[in-house]
Amino acid sequence: MTNTAAQNAPTHPDQAPQDQVRAFDFLMGTWNVHHRRLVERLINSDNWQEFGGQMIAQPLLGGPENYGGNMDDNVLDLPGNPYRAISLRTYDPASDKWAIWWLDGRNPHSLDVPVLGQFKDGIGTFYADDVLGGKPIKVRFRWTGTNTQIPRWEQAFSPDNGTTWEVNWTMDFSR
């Protein structure tokens, strides 16, 4: 198999491309999670809800060595309605992109629309088209701080095809 990352490596080491295959290595293992989410979305609300949770992430499908994937099992201690959910991530070497699905245990027969994207300069950005309240929206996931002890995931929605974004959920991870 050809290593395209090595073939396309820049001449300056500080400009090295991110290895997409191993991009989620930082997430493997057990985490405590601090959730902060908007109770209602895309209505100009500032009613945030905060709660805890736990997550365990592990490689799947042979792990990164075989262009596999990973998943995480989540416990979300949502006040009055705790639940479990999983994220499933798979890497496609042909497109050099990841797909991420979310399965909410409260709705076990429905996978969310996958977001697609990759990491650049240590930030993972992933997009999808979806529907909220019968209206089309864009969805964005963003991973930041992946080289720190407290990585962050955030979700944002756009009702105007990506012109403006409303961050509606953040998750801060700690060991």
33-55: per-residue pLDDT in tens?
A: 999 999 999 999 999 999 999 99
Q: What is the pLDDT of residue 21?
A: 87
Q: 6 lies in a domain?
A: no
Q: What is the pLDDT of residue 68?
A: 83
Q: What is the pLDDT of residue 147?
A: 94
Provide the CA 123 distance to its chain's centre, in angstroms: 11
Query: Torsion-angle region of residue 82: left (phi > 0), alpha (psi -120 to 50) or beta?
Result: beta
Confidence of residue 28 (pLDDT cuts 50, 70, 90): very high
- Number of domains composing the chain: 1
- CATH number for the domain that contains residue 27: 2.40.128.20
Domain residues for 153?
18-174
Q: 146 lies in a domain?
A: yes
User: Could you give the percent of the chain with pLDDT greater than 90?
Assistant: 82
pTM for this entry: 0.86
Q: 22 lies in a domain?
A: yes
Q: 121 lies in a domain?
A: yes
Confidence of residue 175 (pLDDT cuts 50, 70, 90): very high
Task: Give the other-Cβ count within 10 Å of 119's Cβ.
Answer: 19
Mean pLDDT of 131-148: 97
Q: 80 lies in a domain?
A: yes
Q: 64 lies in a domain?
A: yes
Q: 10 lies in a domain?
A: no
Q: 165 lies in a domain?
A: yes
